[in-house]
Amino acid sequence: MSSSQELYNRLDEKLRALVPVKNRKQVTNWIWIIVGILQSQSCNLSQIANYLPLETKAESRVTLIRRWLMNPQVKAIRALLPVLRLPPHPLNIGRTVRRPILPL
């Protein structure tokens, strides 16, 4: 099992109950985007897309992320708040982790 899949499984187990989205596919996409952010340690869409488990061109994966972020049914910031409250990712142990400052 890849490290991305393992991280996805752990996040899915913890976050599915916390996310206020009823559409299962939206939650699945959201969790994969979070995996991409954590694994790439970047907010650059092309870097995040490298960690999505799709057998499509990189441009298609970036388009999927953009569409998800632009979907009016998805409130990305509300979905991200549970992640920001979790302990730091195990790959970041011993490193300085910059957390965004968000108005709550």
12 lies in some domain = yes
pLDDT computed for residue 79 by the predictor: 64
Q: Retrieve residue 36's tokens.
A: 């991409």
pLDDT computed for residue 47 by the predictor: 93
Domain count, the chain: 1
93 lies in some domain = no
99 lies in some domain = no
Block means of pLDDT (10 residues each) for the chain, length 104 residues?
85 77 80 88 91 88 90 72 64 47 44
Look up the domain containing 66 and give its range: 3-88
74 lies in some domain = yes
pLDDT computed for residue 60 by the predictor: 92
104 lies in some domain = no
pLDDT computed for residue 95 by the predictor: 45
37 lies in some domain = yes
Other Cβ atoms within 10 Å of 3 Cβ, number: 12
103 lies in some domain = no
Inter-CA distances, 29 with 57, 74, 87, 93, Å:
17, 11, 21, 26
27 lies in some domain = yes
pLDDT computed for residue 103 by the predictor: 46
**Under 8 Å between Cβ of 6 and 38:** no
pLDDT computed for residue 31 by the predictor: 86
